[in-house]
Amino acid sequence: MTNPFAEAQQFNALIQASPVATAIYTGPDVTICMVNQLMLNLWDRDAAVIGKPLEKALPELEGQPFIGLLKNVFQTGETYETRESKAELLRDGQLRTFYFDFTYKPIPGPDGKIAYIFHTAVDITQMVEARNQLADTKEWLTLSLSSAGTGTWDLDTLNNTVRWDARCRELFGFAGDEHIPYDAALSCIHPADEPAVRQAVINALNPKADDQYDIRYRTIGQKDGRLRWVHCKGKAYFNGEGLAYRFAGTVYDITEEVHARQRERQLLRLVDDNANHMTIADMSGQLIYMNHAAKHLVGVLETEDITLLSAKDFYDAEELARVQNTILKQITEEDGWKGLITLRNKITKEPIPCEVSYMLIRDPETGEVIGRGANARDLRPEIKAKAELKLLATIVDISEDFCNYCDLDGGTLYMNAAGRQLIGLKEQDIKGSNMFAYHSADSSRVIHEVILPQLLTDGRWSGPLELVHQQTGEIIPIHKQLFIICDEFTGKPVAFAGIARDLRPELTFRKALDERNSELQNTVQELNFLADSVPSVVWTSKPDGNLDYINQRWNERGGTALEDSLGTGWANGLHPDDLPAALAAWSESLQTGNPYQIEFRIKDKKGEYRWWLVRALPLRNEAGEIVKWYGTNTDITEQKELQRQKDDFLGIASHELKTPITSIKAYAQVMQKLFLRSGDNRNADLVGKMNRQINRLNSLVGDLLDVTKISAGRLQFNYETFDFNQLVEEVIEDVQPTTTKHLIKKALSFKKELTGDRDRISQVITNLLTNAIKYSPEANEIIIYTEDYNGEAKLCVQDFGIGISSEKKDKVFEQFYRVSGTQEYTFPGLGLGLYISSEIINRLGGKIWVTSVEGKGSTFCFSLPVKQLSI
Ligand code: ADP
C-alpha cells in the first residue's frame, strides 16, 4: 500500500527540483496544493499561497483568462498548452507584463476523474521583450533608413536574386515589386561606371580580399530613365566553405550631394577665375582664401602660402590702421561694408586704389560668424579712363573747332565755346536750341533727307554744310563730321556728335591763292614770251642736269625737235669732237655748282654745224642748294668766222711783215756801224733810235705771229734741259739796258735744272720784266726772285707801279685785253704779252697768276714743273 504522504513528499521534492516553474492545483476552485520556488518567484509570493484557491492567492488574475482556462481543463480533462501567453502579474506591488510558454495538464485521480492540474510555465518575458525590441529596432532602422532615403538590398548569391526594399527599387528606377534578377539590376548601372561596380562586387565576394563594398556610381532608371548618383555599401557573408551565400547592404541617393559638390566646385572655380579680387579671412584677420586675380593684384605668387602673409603686406601703415581700427568694425551683417581702400602691391609697393566690399560669412550650420569676405575692384583703369575722359572733354572744350552734341530730334545737349562763338549763341541758350535752327534752311533739309538716314546706317557722315550766325544771320560755310552715339547697353542710337571747321578762312585763302595763281600764270606767260623773244636759246635744267625747258628760239636754230632736246637729248646734235669736253664741263658744273661756260658746235636744221657759246648759272634756295640751272646758248658762228678771218689775216700780215722788218733791221745795223766808223755820231745815234723802234716792231709782229699760232694750235715747243738760274740771269742782263731808271734786283734761290722750252720761258720772263718796267714809270726798282715751290720752280716779278684793280686782275691774261682807263694810251701795247705768256705756261703744265694793289704795284708769278712735257 502506498503511503500517500510519503508519495506526496516525494512528489513535492520532485516538483521543487524541477528546472521549470511548476504548480499543482486541485479541486474545481483551483486550489494551490503544491508549488515550487520557481513558480513562487514568478508569482512574487511565498509558500503561504499553498492551500489557497488560485484566484485568492493571485487576485491580479481576475479579468485574465487563466482561471477560466484551468477550470475548463478540470471539466474537459484536456491538456491546455500555449506559447508566449501574456500575463499581468504583481511584482513588487506593481502589475507587470510577462510572457509564458505554459501547460495545464490534467492528472486523473484514482477514480479516473480529474484530481489535479499540473501547471508548468517557462518565463519567456525576456525573450519576447528582446524580440519585440529587435522588431522595434528593425522597424526604427527601416524607418530611419527610408527617411534618410537609404534603401536596403539583399542579394541571394546562390539563387542569384535580389531582395530590394522600395527605396532601393526607386533608386534603380524599378516600379512595383516584381522579381528582379541580378543582371537586371546591373543593367541599370551607368555604362561608364559598370566595370568598376562589377570589380567592386567581385572583390567583395572574394573571401580572401576582405574588401568592404563601398562605391559611388550612377544609375539610369530602368523605368523612368532618370540619372541618379548612388552610394552603395555592403558586405558579403560567407559559409564554412568560404562561399558567399548572402551579400547585403544599403544604397542611398547622393545625386543631390554630387550636384552640390559639383556646384561647389563650379562656384569655387568661378570665384577662383573671377576677374574681381576676392579674399576670405577668418575673424582674427588670417587669410584663408585668395583668388588668382587677387593674388595677381597684390603681388602674391601662386606658390606662396597665403596663411603666412600678414595684412601689413597689403597696406601702407596709415591705411592699415584705418582698415583695422575703423573699417573692420563697421562691417555689419546686413550691409557689410563698401568703400574705397588703397591696397598696395606686396612686391612693387605700387598703391592700388580699390572699391572694396566686405561681408561677414556665417557658418550655415551654427550661424556663427566665421570670417570676412572681401571683394575688391581695381579702380586704376577707371581712374585712368576718367582722367582720359576729362582730358578729352577739356580738349573738346578748348578746341577751336565747332563741337556739338544733339539728341536725335536735334535738341542741343552740348556746344563748346568755339561753337558758341562761331554762331553767336549764349551759353545759357544752348539747352533750348535746336540744331535745325542754327543750320541754314538748305543744310537742315540735307540733314533731314540725306544725313540722318546715312548716320543711322553708317554711323558717320562728313561733308560741307552751312551754319547761320544767330545774331547777324550770316551764312557760315563749314565742313562737318557727324557721328552717331549709341547707348552702351542697348546699342540703340541716342544722340549724335558733330565737329565742324569754319571754311571761311580757307575759302578766303583759296580765293587769294587763285588770284595769286592767275597772277603767277600771267607772269609765267610773260616770262615765256620774254624768253621766246630773246635772240638766244634759253633753257633751264633740273639740279640733276636734265633740261626741263627750252624756249621757242630753239625751233628756229636746233637740228633736233625741241621736245627731243629736253632731258639729255641736246647732246645728240653735238659735234663728236666737242661732245666729251661739253659733257665733262657740264657734269663738273653740276657737281661743283660753278658756272658752266663752253663753246661747241651743234647741227642746225640744214645739217650744218654752228658754233654756240653756252653759259649756265645755278639758282640756289635759302639753304644754298641748287634748285635749277638757267642757261643760254648764243650763236657765235659768225664771231668764230670773223675770228678765223682775223687770225688768218694776222697770220698772213705778220708773216709778210716779218721778212721786210728783218731786212730793214739788218740794213739799219749796217748803217749804224758805217756812221760810227766815219765818226758821224749824230747819225749813228739816230740810226740807233731807229734800230730800237725796229726791235719794238719786230717784237710786236712776233707777238701777233705767236697769237695766230696759238689760235691755230700751231705753237711749237722745243724741249731741252737747261740751267733755270742761268736763263734768268741772262734775261735780266738783256732787259736791264732797256731802262735807265729802274734797277732790277734779284734773289734767285731756285738752282735746279729744268726740262722745257728755254726760249719760250725766256720770252715769258722778258714779258713780265718789260711789263714791270712799263707799268711802274715812277719807281726805280724791280725785284725778281725765284724759289722752290713744292718741288716746282717759281718765279715772281714785283714792281711798285700802277697796280691793277682786283676786278680786272684775272682779265689781264686774256687776248687783246688792256686795262682801260685814262692811262691806256700812256702805255703802248697790244694786250697780247700776258695772253701769250699764260698760253706758254699753261701748255708747259704750269700756272701763272698775279697779286696786285692798285697804285702800289703788282707781282706776277708763274710756277713750272721741273720736267715739263708737251701737252
Ligand atoms: P700790253 O701790251 O698792253 O702790255 P700785256 O698783255 O702785256 O699787254 O698786258 C695786258 C695789260 O695788263 C696791260 O695793258 C696792262 O694794263 C696790264 N699790265 C700788265 N703788266 C702790268 C704791270 N706790271 N702793272 C700794271 N698793269 C700791268
Cβ of residue 602 lying under 6 Å from some atom of ligand 1 = no
Torsion sign across C-alpha atoms 558, 564, 567, 570: negative
Q: What is the mean pLDDT of residues 423-441?
A: 90
The rounded percent of the chain whose pLDDT value lies above 90 is: 36
- Residues 721, 595, single domain; the answer is no
Distance of CA 587 to the CA centre of its chain: 49
The answer to whether residue 522 sits within a structural domain is no
> In terms of domains, do 18 and 117 share one?
yes
Amino acid at position 46, single letter: D
pLDDT at 685: 92
What DSSP letter does each residue of 398-437 carry, written as one string? H-SSEEEEEETT-BEEEE-HHHHHHHT--GGGTTT-BTTT
Q: How confident is the model at residue 823 (pLDDT cuts 50, 70, 90)?
A: low
pLDDT band for position 81 (50/70/90)?
very high
CA dihedral in degrees (725, 731, 737, 740; nearest 10)?
-70
**Ligand 1 near 819 CB (within 6 A):** yes
Specify the pLDDT at position 4. Answer: 56
Are 858 and 752 in a shared domain?
Answer: yes
Identify which of 704, 773, 812 to mutate to test ligand 1's pocket (most ligand atoms within 8 A of the CB). 812
Is the predicted pLDDT of residue 783 greater than 80, yes or no? Answer: yes
Mean pLDDT throughout 278-293? 86
Task: Judge whether residue 794 has pLDDT over 70.
Answer: yes
Note the pLDDT tens digit of each residue in 159-188. 777 777 877 777 777 776 677 777 777 788
Q: Are strands 244-253 and 150-156 parallel, antiparallel or unpaired?
A: antiparallel
Residues 427 and 354 reside in one and the same domain: no
- Residue 704, ligand 1, Cβ within 6 A: no
804 lines ligand 1 (CB under 6 A): yes
Indicate the range of 22-26, 146-150, 252-256, 582-586 predicted with least confidence: 146-150
- Please name which of 858, 693, 692, 862 lies closest in space to residue 776, comparing C-alpha atoms: 858
- From the CA of 771, how far away is ligand 1's center (Å)? 6
Helices (H), 77-219: 125-147, 166-171, 182-187, 194-204
| pLDDT tens track for 320-379 | 999 889 898 888 878 889 999 999 999 999 999 999 999 988 887 788 888 888 998 889
User: Does residue 631 have its Cβ closer than 6 Å to ligand 1?
Assistant: no
- What per-residue confidence (pLDDT) applies to 640? 87
Pick the last residue of a domain from 681, 708, 735: 708
Residue 286 and residue 228 in one domain: no
Residue 118 near residue 105, CB atoms below 8 Å: yes
Averaged pLDDT, 836-843: 94
Q: Which residue has the higher pLDDT, 770 or 286?
A: 770
618 lies in the same domain as 679: no
Give residue 870's pLDDT: 54
Q: Is 857 in the pocket of ligand 1 (CB under 6 A)?
A: no
**Atom of ligand 1 lying closest to residue 819 CA:** 16
- CA 36 → CA 5, 9, 14, 86, 325, distances in Å? 18, 13, 9, 21, 87
How far away, in angstroms, is 716 Cα from ligand 1 center? Answer: 24
Mean pLDDT of 454-476: 92
Q: 44 and 68 in one domain?
A: yes
CA–centroid distance, residue 831 to ligand 1 (Å) = 7
Q: Over 70: is that where the pLDDT of 660 sits?
A: yes
**Residue of 482, 480, 510, 517 whose CA lies nearest to 497:** 482
Residue whose CA lies nearest to ligand 1 atom number 8: 831
Same domain for 631 and 656, yes or no, is: no
Ligand 1 closest atom vs CA 817: 10
Q: Is the CB of 569 under 6 A from ligand 1?
A: no
**Cβ(248)–Cβ(155) under 8 Å?**
yes
Cell numbers for 487 = 547707348
Cα(855) to ligand 1 centroid in Å equals: 14
Share of the chain above pLDDT 70, in %: 97
Task: Give the pLDDT of residue 447.
Answer: 92
Q: Which residue has the higher pLDDT, 856 or 564?
A: 856
Give mean pLDDT, residues 245-258.
Answer: 86
Report yes or no on 266 lying in a domain: no
Asked whether the predicted pLDDT for residue 643 surpasses 50, the reply is: yes
Burial 527-557 (b: 16+ CB within 10 A, else e): eeeebeeeebbbbbbeeebebebbbebbeeb
Helix axes 833-843, 681-712, angle to 10 degrees: 50
Report whether residue 835 contacts ligand 1, using a CB cutoff of 6 Å.
yes
Q: 21-35, 109-123, 237-251, 856-870: which has the minimum mean pLDDT? A: 237-251
| Owner of C-alpha cell 557573408 | 237
Average pLDDT (560-572) is 83
pLDDT at position 1 is 43
8 Å CB contact between 619 and 627: yes
Which of 291-300, 756-765, 785-794, 824-833 bottoms out in mean pLDDT, i.e. has the lowest? 824-833
Question: What is the C-alpha to C-alpha distance for residues 396 and 403, in angstroms, rounded to an integer?
Answer: 7
Cα 83 to averaged position of ligand 1 atoms, centre (Å) = 177
Residue 820: pLDDT band by 50, 70, 90 thresholds? low
Q: What is the pLDDT of residues 206-245, one digit of tens each?
A: 888 777 889 999 988 877 788 888 888 888 888 777 788 8
Q: For residue range 688-744, what is the model confidence (pLDDT) as tens digits?
A: 889 888 988 888 888 888 888 888 888 888 899 999 999 999 999 999 988 999 999
| 452 part of a folded domain | yes
* Residue ending a domain, choose from 679, 708, 737: 708
Q: Select from 72, 89, 123 the last residue of a domain.
A: 123
When divided into structural domains, the chain yields a total of: 7
Radius of gyration of the chain (CA): 72
Q: Is residue 110 domain-resident?
A: yes
The rounded Å distance from CA 374 to ligand 1 centre is 109
User: Residue 702: which domain range?
Assistant: 641-708
Banded pLDDT at 837 (limits 50, 70, 90): very high
* Residues 423 and 437 sit within 8 Å (Cβ to Cβ): no
Cα separation, 294 vs 299, in Å, equals 8
Q: Whose CA is nearest to atom 25 of ligand 1?
A: 803
Least confident of 148-152, 593-597, 667-671, 770-774: 148-152
737 CA distance to ligand 1 middle (Å): 20
Question: Above 60 in pLDDT, residue 572?
Answer: yes
pLDDT reported for residue 821: 58
pLDDT tens profile 376-395: 888 998 889 888 888 888 88
User: How confident is the model at residue 146, as a pLDDT?
Assistant: 64
Nearest CA to ligand 1 atom 19: 771
- Whether 141 has a pLDDT exceeding 80, the answer reads no
Ranked by mean pLDDT, which of 1-5, 386-390, 559-563 comes out on top?
A: 386-390
Q: Which of 820, 834, 852 to mutate to test the pocket of ligand 1 (most atoms within 8 A of CB)?
A: 834
**Residue 420 CA to ligand 1 centre (angstroms):** 83
- For residues 725 and 804, membership in a common domain is answered with yes
Ligand 1 contact via 706 beta carbon (within 6 Å): no
- Which ligand 1 atom minimizes the distance to the CA of 829? 2
Residue 514 lies in a domain: no
Q: Tell me how far the alpha carbon of residue 776 lies from the centroid of ligand 1, in angstroms.
A: 11
Same domain, 860 and 748: yes
* Same domain for 645 and 613: no
User: 3-17, 202-216, 804-818: which range is least confident on average?
Assistant: 3-17
273 within some domain? no
Tell me, using a 6 A CB cutoff, whether residue 799 lines ligand 1: yes
Q: What pLDDT does 143 receive?
A: 66
Q: Residue 516 CA to chain centroid, in angstroms?
A: 47
pTM (predicted TM-score): 0.40
> Quick check: 195 pLDDT over 60?
yes
**Helix pair angle (681-712, 637-677), 10° resolution:** 160
Residues 362 and 235 in one domain: no
Residue range 529-546: mean pLDDT, rounded: 84
**Average pLDDT score, the chain:** 87
pLDDT at position 483, please? 92
What CATH number is associated with residue 47? 3.30.450.20
3: pLDDT confidence band, cut at 50, 70 and 90?
low
The cell numbers describing 381, all together, are 583703369
The tens digit of pLDDT for each residue in 262-280 reads 888 888 887 887 778 888 8
Q: Report which of residues 395 and 747 the model is more confident about.
A: 747
pLDDT of residue 5: 62
